Amino acid sequence: MSAKLPFTPNPETDLVLERTVDVPPEWVWAAWTNPEHLKHWFCPRPWSVAECKIDLRPGGVFRTVMKSPQGELMPAGDGCILALEENRRLVWTSAMEPDFRPVESGEDAFLFTAHILIEPDGAGTRYVAIAMHPDEKGRQKHEQMGFHEGWGTALDQLVEYMQSRAS
Amino acid sequence: MSAKLPFTPNPETDLVLERTVDVPPEWVWAAWTNPEHLKHWFCPRPWSVAECKIDLRPGGVFRTVMKSPQGELMPAGDGCILALEENRRLVWTSAMEPDFRPVESGEDAFLFTAHILIEPDGAGTRYVAIAMHPDEKGRQKHEQMGFHEGWGTALDQLVEYMQSRAS
């Protein structure tokens, strides 16, 4: 089954991960929106999440700090939640800070908006993550950073973690 | 009366225009959200609006093309509506394109988010427009472009136009 998307991704500028997973949409939603859950799965191991702050409203902060296996912190800046529908859709961006303040631009800025789309698929969830970039260069950079493997592994970790909580 | 703001503007990075005007909030809302109205007041004369496209939803386009007195078109790119509450609040940005796509960054990018806040004040409207920038440089640039005079004159034109429609 292919999920119904709110817009058509542009293959030149956007990256898409689409999978069906064996946990219900409510679990995927909880994993994405509760910082205590998110810390357990958001970074492919042996990387980890040192800090996570989420203010679940349009304009609210979506901040994560990743930690390398060597203990180096990689703050990604305060992100901003743009839109949400409980158990259905979460949109956040690295291109804004809370209250929709645009981030300082510059050649080395890594700007993207993430659309996380979830819907029931049998007893599980059809999961679509779209990373949307300003241009082809941004898409290429994210692809070289390992978008597909990274976001795929993180999703595996999400499923494993949420299943372990239920057992 | 001072309006209650959803966040505290930062004087280093933000510009604020606050006034009470003699038209009801519904008229201010209509003037900002209906392209046919917006064309009549958005640019201080003798500049004008050559084109306006508004898709009134979070993620929808907010596009204006200004025309100089000499007829030169100044497209500002497709902007994006971020949040809205009918007759209360409209938030849009030049830093994103529709569906929340971040714009290409660069030294010459002119990025800001506009928060338009309206509330009843007697028979009129308390009107607050906040232009929020990534940094002090952005605020200074907008100030030098004539933010206060420009947005103030546009508001005068809005009131005059909406009153002329009613008479």
pLDDT tens for residues B40-55? 999 999 999 999 999 9
Please give the DSSP secondary-structure letter assigned to residue B60: -
What token pair was written down for B81?
């509506």
How large is the ipTM?
Answer: 0.94
Please check the confidence at residue B108 and state whether its pLDDT lies above 80. no
DSSP B83-138: EEETTTEEEEESSEEGGGEEPPP-TT----EEEEEEEEETTEEEEEEEEE-SSHHH
Residue numbers of B between 113 and 152 with CB closer than 8 Å to A:
113, 115, 132-135
Residue B2: inside a domain: no
| Cα B132 from Cα B115, distance rounded (Å) | 8
**What CATH number is attached to the domain comprising A29?**
3.30.530.20
Residue B107 has a pLDDT of 65
Please give the DSSP secondary-structure letter assigned to residue B5: P
Please give the DSSP secondary-structure letter assigned to residue B158: H
| Cα A134 from Cα A127, distance rounded (Å) | 23
pLDDT tens track for B12-39: 999 999 999 999 999 999 999 999 999 9
Question: CB A58 to CB B59 under 8 A?
Answer: no
Residue B6 near chain A (CB below 8 Å): yes
Residue B44: inside a domain: yes
CA distances B24 to A57, A107, B36, B119, B126, Å, are: 29, 45, 19, 9, 9
Residue A31: inside a domain: yes
Residue A159's pLDDT band (boundaries 50, 70, 90)? very high
Residue B7: inside a domain: no
Of B91, B102, B104, the CB nearest to A100: B91
Please check the confidence at residue A2 and state whether its pLDDT lies above 80. no
pLDDT tens track for A87-105: 999 999 999 999 999 998 6
Domain count, chain A: 1
Residue B98: inside a domain: yes
Residue B23: inside a domain: yes
Residue B63: inside a domain: yes
Q: Which domain, by its residues, includes A161?
A: 14-166
Residue A8: inside a domain: no
